[in-house]
Amino acid sequence: MSESNRGTDRLVEVFMEGMAGVTPDVPPSFEELEAAALEAMDERAYGYVAGGAGGERTIDHNRDAFADWHLWPRVLRDFDDRDLSTELLDTEMSVPVLLAPIGVQSIVHEDGELGTARGAAAQDVPVVVSSAASHTMEEISEELGSTPGWFQLYWSSNDDVAKSFVRRAEAAGYEALVVTVDNNALGWRERDVGDGYLPFLDGEGVANYFADEAFRELLDSPPEEAELAAIRTFIDVFGDPSLTFDDLEWLCEFAEIPVVVKGVLHPDDAREAVARGADAVWVSNHGGRQVDNAVPALDALPKVASALPADVPVIFDSGVRRGADALIALALGADAVGLGRPYAYGLAVDGADGVEAVCKNFLADLDLTLGLVGYDDVEAVDREAVVRAEEV
């Protein structure tokens, strides 16, 4: 058992600094963090990160869904030694949290994913690296060091590029492949449409493609000589709306590392994904970026979890902002949660240090709330930890 004192350690740290008149640069409150990121970022880039599909009802509903559940604290249960560690698909994780894949981080901060990897590694928080990263997966893996990394695949419509990404991820030491299936076409995002803004067209978020042998084969001239033409080719091959479960089955055979299917909301899709060979399911509605007024991810979670055999890991994201949110998700069947926008805002506000601060605060909150609800081990959190608000 690895003991955690992340909560108390962090409180001691901030209160000692407070006595010296120093308060944290990165606000502990998500709402204040988002406001600080708005100040720090280019307006269109902020719109890209904060925005969602259509009228952005899914973003709101993702958050509202947490209010339907209350944690139900139990007392006098000895939570002196707490264990936040877990194992997912043979990946040893010191915390039940992964940084969810977020592309084009160079629009958030000049250090982009390298800053995120440094900040996450400082707290040993596993990172899922996006296909649409602004640095190559190989460079980001170097920054992660011994902190676990998974690679998120956007399945290219060009088979050679897709296969090449999988082999590169394996060679770079990523421990699992997260194939995102809810973004096979870009959603209708009113902020980006209104701004006429797609960062890829500025050559952001294409590093994995421009460095890829199979992608470069498709070009008449290398991207270093003809960037616009390369960007056009990137747009052509980026996604593939024709994908089906047969393709997923093929991928699960082809990949030599475990495959996680990200973007599942319906229990039947979860069952089918596992029947076709997926090793884990990631419940997510992409943070409300794809379908307006979609099912809140938290509402889908218990339905998906109960549709699957107990030994199939379930990961959850979309709306996780605080430690209590993570615990509610763990109680409703998740084995780990993905943190999304909060760390992107940390990156915007203070680069790698900002990501580290967001991770530190989130894990401190999770650690303390875990104990105060009556558990000393995240793997023991179960349905007993929560009650539907209307049932209290």
Residues that bind ligand FNR (CB under 6 A): 48-49, 100-103, 130, 132, 152, 180, 262, 284, 286-287, 289, 317-320, 338, 340-341
Considering the complex, state which of residue 127 and residue 274 has its C-beta at the smaller distance from ligand FNR.
127
Question: Contact at 8 Å (CB) between 349 and 40?
Answer: yes
Helix intervals (H) in the chain: 6-19, 30-40, 43-50, 57-67, 112-122, 137-144, 159-171, 190-195, 207-210, 213-217, 227-237, 245-254, 267-275, 297-307, 323-331, 341-373
DSSP 123: T
Orientation of helix 57-67 relative to helix 297-307, angle to 10°: 70
Considering the complex, state which of residue 14 and residue 38 has its C-beta at the smaller distance from ligand FNR.
38
Residue 286 among the catalytic residues: yes
Q: Which residues face 377 on adjacent strands?
A: 83
Residue 163 sits at φ, ψ, to 5 deg, of -65, -40
Amino acid, res. 2: S
Amino acid, res. 206: V
Considering the complex, state which of residue 91 and residue 180 has its C-beta at the smaller distance from ligand FNR.
180
Catalytic residue among 61, 109, 135, 286: 286
Considering the complex, state which of residue 103 and residue 148 has its C-beta at the smaller distance from ligand FNR.
103
Measured from the CB of residue 343, what is the shortest distance to ligand FNR in angstroms? 9
Measured from the CB of residue 262, what is the shortest distance to ligand FNR in angstroms? 5
Residues 378, 382, 384, 387, Cα dihedral to 10°: 90
Measured from the CB of residue 196, what is the shortest distance to ligand FNR in angstroms? 17
Measured from the CB of residue 52, what is the shortest distance to ligand FNR in angstroms? 8
Considering the complex, state which of residue 86 and residue 318 has its C-beta at the smaller distance from ligand FNR.
318
Measured from the CB of residue 45, what is the shortest distance to ligand FNR in angstroms? 9
Whole-angstrom Cα distance, residue 95 to residue 92?
9
* 280: CB partners within 8 A, 6+ apart: 88, 89, 176, 258, 259, 260, 261, 312, 313, 314, 315
Residue 86 sits at φ, ψ, to 5 deg, of -155, 170
- List the catalytic residues: 286
